[in-house]
Structure 1
Amino acid sequence: MKGNVIVGQSGGPTAAINSSLAGVYRTAIDRGAKKVYGMIHGIQGLLQERYLDLSQYITNDLDTELLKRTPAAFLGSCRYKLPEIHEDMEVYKKIFAILDKLEIEAFIYIGGNDSMDTIKKLSDYAIITGHPARFIGCPKTIDNDLALTDHTPGYGSAAKYIGTSVKEIIRDGYCLEYENGVVTIVEIMGRNAGWLTGAAALAKGEDCDGPDMIYLPEIPFDLEKFTQRVKKLLQKKSSVVIAVSEGIRLKDGRYVCELGDSIDFVDAFGHKQLSGTAGYLSSFIAGETGSKTRAIELSTLQRSASHLASRVDILEAYQVGGAAVKAADEGDSGKMVVLVRHSDDPYQSGTEVKDVHKIANDEKLVPREWVTKDGTYVTDEFINYVRPLIQGDVSPVMVDGIPRHLYRPLNL
């Protein structure tokens, strides 16, 4: 590698996203890159010429290990949608002028579906203009909904946190008895894909019955049938715990959260902000049953809980970061690194690169056969798919009883 590398992070962060950043940095340096720049707040920050030299922050092996264990996006993230090339050529001219100024040979972008859209457009512009820079996507999303990859870095750690938290919530429900029972509804992230919500089933084991029901957004939600099932469960047990995706919808396409007083906010990519599903359902069930109800939103906790990260996830995140640099160095562009599962027992995986045009703006949903016929739980096939991804622990570096993270000033 003769030139410089620039790397950015985009979309929602994960507990493993900085491990990919560490993999990019270390591999680029090992392959001879002169400098590795980090975009501050992704492509949006790059357009404002906001970037830093990562060597100022990663000065030794301890810094690398701290970075791998640091949650959220160390460089800062964004949700910025590049215009189509024919709509605004000036944006691309500005970006490529900055890349030329920094003598960039490889552009690595760590993110999910929308981030791969950025890689697709930039690599297309490079082809149109004959620019030599190479553009590679590095997968990241707790949603696990990227096409062509077995799974995505970030998902394993989020699944581990969800399974653990749901198990602890179930245990908590055993403590007190209420005259009409208690119903706890746990809201888990997932707009269109139920990979995260399905992970609630990991709570089930010899010492725990697991959640009573699991509802994924792939299956239309029937409020009347839901209420009937809850009433039947309350006849058998005093504590009911249900996991629901924030994105569950009725047959007519309305999100359940829209039945309540949710805020109607749409981001740059046209995605509605979803919140309040558990709150609405818990209030509705309280009125229908007279039971005590609780609504719990795991919210950002499921993507920021680095203290409960999966070792497999952290190692694979580092691996795909390195593979992205390797792909660019060997001449690939307009590609994304994917994870390929070779076996479950023992678990083994490797990396390949795939055309980003076949990945960007697509979503991988939970297969219908991995959900029970009545749509209220996931099957053993789902659990067998997820379980290898949550294995192992990554011990935080503790200082004064609290995890230490790699730090940079936020006002750069």
Structure 2
Amino acid sequence: MGLKGNALFAQSGGPTAVINSSISGAIQEAAKHKDITAMYGSINGILGVLNENMIDLNKESKRNIELLRVTPSSALGSSRHKLKNEEDFEKLLKVLQAHDIRYFFVAGGNDSMDTANKVHKLAVAKKYELRVMGLPKTVDNDLAVTDHCPGYGSVSRWLAMAVRDAGLDTEAIYTSDTIKVVETMGRNAGWITASTALARLKEKDAPHIVLLPEVPFNQDKFLSALDKVYKKLGYAVITCCEGLKDEKGEYLTSSKRSIDTDKFGHKQLGGVGETLVSIIADNMKIKARCDKPGTIQRVSGMAQSKVDQEEAFISGAMAVKHGIEGKSGMMVTLVRDSENPYKCSTGLSDLDNIANKERKVPAEFISADGMYVTDKFLQYVTPLIGGPLPEYARLEKNFIAKKLTK
């Protein structure tokens, strides 16, 4: 006989273009099972549970739940709240017990999976029958075990389009701002920055240099590589990760203010782009410009990948199916079954294998000089963005003969 009780859904960490699709898939699947007697949504993640700020999802229209599939950001609200001690976890469990929550579905990244894992273990220790399932979510694409993460395909598509446009702008201006630096999100893993290489179809296309935190930044090597590009093309576009580190393993830039450090001890990063602009100006005597998209890159629905959206939806539905089957303390993973044609299915992994672990860009995806990505990476990321970028024209530029100048 199945476990009867209520289901609670929570979203945690940074919003993405498809985290709502995961929740939509989970809610629609949960509605099919009689063992789930009611469905609640926690407002602002774990904080919503602690404060009993929960909504009745059964009272939402089917149309609204379906529209979540194409709605960016976190419809339930999110938070970066770390449960500090045993008292916090005990309080959370009491709330779950008071509301007869027997199914707890958490969509989030590394820290969120750690919280879900601890809740699962506490429930087991207290002999409270609770099924806790993780739904993978992070634009950083740094969750262990899973081939890739929902959210990554969409941020990759958005940035590829943005960097391609930034490249055309830089190429067109001709007499000023002929070097552009685009700073992307990413703490210790450079997956997001690496994806900007999707914008480059020909040698002239941006980006020309891709700087990842997996490769310690060496100023001389960077300037040498940039000088070669600039002399050949007369312009250059660099993409860099905000988490870029020096050869001592220190962030090139990070906020020193305590207010800019979250509950998990993560300092707010940013400013690498402007640092590179200064390095270029001081050493090459060339004016450069920095573009920094900020959080819009992770959440924008303008370039939502259809593949990403569908895989997010399926991940949510599968989390519920596994919960109904009796699984707990696990996260749904994405498994790449084939490359050409691209096919993906889902798997499962214990939260112990995922919580607080970080998957970085492997060496085989990074060029030998550390200034770009490899074809193997492009083969990995291309199917995730849901089809080719919109086609652009590039004039052949067949010049006529000059008559007044030589």
Question: What TM-score, normalized by structure 1, do the two folds share?
Answer: 0.90
Pair 1:315–1:7, CA change in 2 (3 A): same
Write the distance in 1 (CA, Å) between the matches of 2:68 and 2:58.
13
User: C-alpha separation between the residues in 2 aligned to 1:344 and 1:390?
Assistant: 14
Aligned to 1:30, the other structure's residue is in SS state: coil
Residue 201 (structure 1) aligns with: 197
Is residue 2:327 matched to residue 1:332?
yes
2:89 corresponds in structure 1 to: 92
Whole-angstrom CA distance in 1 between matches of 2:204 and 2:380: 20
Query: Which stretch shows the higher mean deviation, 379-388 or 92-101?
Result: 92-101
> Does residue 1:64 correspond to 2:53, yes or no?
no
Residue equivalent to 2:398 = none
Listed as ranges, the gaps of 5+ residues in structure 2 are 389-406
**How far apart, in 2, do the equivalents of 1:136 and 1:370 lie?**
31
Aligned to 1:407: none
Partner residue, 2:55: 52
| Matching residue's letter, 2:121 | D
1:345-397 CA-to-partner distances (Å, cap 9, x unmatched) read 2111111111000110000111112101110000001000000101149xxxx
Cα pair 2:5 2:102 within 8 Å, conserved: yes
Which consecutive aligned stretches of 4+ in structure 1 deviate over 4 angstroms post-superposition?
261-264
Q: Map 1:373-392; keep pairs closer than 5 Å.
A: 373-392=368-387
Q: Of the candidates 13, 22, 28, which is equivalent to residue 24 of structure 2?
A: 22
Provide the identity percentage: 42
1:92-171 matches, within 5 Å, as 92-171=89-168
State the 1:71 CA deviation. 1.1
- Please give the secondary structure, in 2, of the residue aligned with 1:144: coil
Matched with 1:406 is none
Aligned to 2:41: 38
* Equivalent pairs, count: 384
Contact persistence 2:10–2:44 (CA under 8 A)? yes
SS at structure 1 position matched to 2:80 = coil
CA contact (8 A) 1:370 1:380 kept: yes
For 2:10 and 2:312, the matched residues in 1 are separated by 15
Q: Which amino acid letter does the alignment assign opposite residue 238 of structure 1?
A: G
Rounded Cα–Cα distance in structure 1 between residues aligned with 2:285 and 2:160? 28
TM-score norm. by structure 2 comes to 0.91
Unaligned stretches of 5+ residues in structure 1: 394-412
Residue equivalent to 1:408: none
Q: Is the Cα contact below 8 Å between 2:158 and 2:302 reproduced in 1?
A: no
Looking at structure 2, the residues matched to 182 and 209 of structure 1 have their Cα atoms a distance apart, in angstroms, of 13
CA-atom RMSD in angstroms: 1.7
Aligned equivalents of 1:229 and 1:348: distance in 2? 37
Contact 2:159 2:195 in 1 (8 A): yes
Residue from 265, 274, 280 that aligns with 1:279: 274
Q: CA deviation at 1:318?
A: 0.4
Letter in 1 for 2:59: Q
CA separation in 2, counterparts of 1:383 and 1:19? 25
Displacement after TM superposition at 1:112 (Å): 0.3
Q: Does 1:234 align with 2:233?
A: no
Matching residue of 1:308? 303
Matches of 2:230 and 2:97, distance apart in 1: 65
